[in-house]
Amino acid sequence: MMAYNSGQHSIVLVCAVVISLVAAVIALILSAVAVSQSGTSNISILTPYSGQSSRTGTGNDGNDEDKIWQLALHERGFRLGYIDDATGELRGFNADMANAVCQIANKNCQIVYDSSQRCWDAVSGTRAQGGKGLLSGYYDGCVGWVHSYDRPRTFRFSDPYTDSLPAAALITLQGNPGNFTWQDLAGSKIGFIDGFVNDEHCLARSNVVTGNKLSSGQIVHYLTRPAAQQGLRNNEVDAIFDAKLVYLNQNPDFQIVSDDILTCVKAGFSVMTRKDSRLIDWWNPAFATLTATSQWKYICNDLDDEHGHVSRGPGPSVCVGID
């Protein structure tokens, strides 16, 4: 019979403990893999612009009550959206409306400022395209974008919260000092605002203007409306193509010279989202609820009462459901 060896017994015990620990670690790894595959990952993605992506929680399915829905607004320069010089805050109708919808939907929303080009971008002479901010998920939606003919190829739109804006037009300096002939654009240089719906492709669809399929040399893009207006003052362009409503009895320096051009807008201002976003699933019902309340009338009237001190744009009558 072999003699019992206490040293051998210790080795066996150590091996057993090691094997048990290895098995436990493997079990934990398998469990973690299973959880990660179940779709409950809570990963935050840092971006150079917003600091943190809105793609947190359970992704874009909208079921995470802790998800922060980020809504981008840009400065339009009139009552729909402007920066309050006294506070530095972004104010206007778009912010008022978005806050009210989020409250009704009981969603945690953040309104963030970004340039319009990161929602929708255009380069002179090429087709406009989705902005990298919205496409890359820096935020969930861009507030204050009309439903155009081109944008639905890339993005999805909420129900409009304004009536369809009536027209675009060709604008010159007051008195049309350059004798610009709007009916035929052959040889003329036209200014456009980068990313705006009233672009060269919209103008090319019009049947009330000839010579409207412009060459690249006839197209001048500006980043903002004030820049386009200054370009007109500096004789860089013969006319600018912009929303008619902005110039009705509001800008004594400028003159509407063309008939209405109705080929830019299919529906009014909406929230523009990625096609994979679920934001609209809760936004549309909440907005429908808002329009049935007196709060909606107050928000629309605030275009004059609260925000009427800034340059005028669309008035209360453009709000859907408001006469």
Mean pLDDT computed over 158-174: 89
Q: pLDDT at position 83, please?
A: 82
What is the CATH number for 255? 3.40.190.10
Question: Which amino acid, residue 176?
Answer: N
Mean pLDDT computed over 11-33: 46
One domain for residues 85 and 233? no
Look at residues 189, 225, 240, 219 and name the one whose alpha carbon lies nearest to residue 125.
Answer: 219
Alpha carbons 125 and 119: distance in angstroms, whole number: 19
Q: pLDDT at position 17, please?
A: 47
pLDDT at 300 over 70: yes
Label residue 88 by pLDDT band (50, 70, 90): confident
Q: pLDDT at position 52, please?
A: 38
Mean pLDDT computed over 100-109: 96
- Structural domain of 79: 68-164+266-309
Q: pLDDT at position 20, please?
A: 55
One domain for residues 224 and 271? no
One domain for residues 159 and 204? no
The 3-class secondary structure across 3-55, one letter per residue, is CCCHHHHHHHHHHHHHHHHHHHHHHHHHHHHHHHHCCCCCCCCCCCCCCCCCC
pLDDT at 321 over 90: no
Q: Domain count for the chain, please give it.
A: 2
In the numeric block, which tokens belong to residue 283?
């936004």
In the numeric block, which tokens belong to residue 159?
């129900």
One domain for residues 270 and 133? yes
The CA-CA-CA angle for residues 26, 32, 34, to 5°, reads: 105
Q: Would residue 300 count as lying in a domain?
A: yes
44, 56 Cβ separation under 8 angstroms: yes
142, 272 Cβ separation under 8 angstroms: yes
Mean pLDDT computed over 153-164: 92
One domain for residues 116 and 203? no
Among 62-66, 157-161, 298-302, name the one with the lowest average pLDDT.
Answer: 62-66
One domain for residues 120 and 191? no
Q: pLDDT at position 150, please?
A: 87
Mean pLDDT computed over 206-220: 94
Q: pLDDT at position 231, please?
A: 97
The CA-CA-CA angle for residues 133, 135, 138, to 5°, reads: 40
Mean pLDDT computed over 169-173: 97
Label residue 275 by pLDDT band (50, 70, 90): very high
Distance of CA 18 to the CA centre of its chain: 57
Q: Would residue 14 count as lying in a domain?
A: no
pLDDT at 9 over 50: no
Mean pLDDT computed over 170-177: 96
Q: pLDDT at position 187, please?
A: 95
Position with higher pLDDT, 174 vs 196: 174
Among 13-27, 117-131, 247-261, name the one with the lowest average pLDDT.
Answer: 13-27
Position with higher pLDDT, 236 vs 252: 236
One domain for residues 249 and 285? no
Label residue 261 by pLDDT band (50, 70, 90): very high
Q: pLDDT at position 142, please?
A: 97
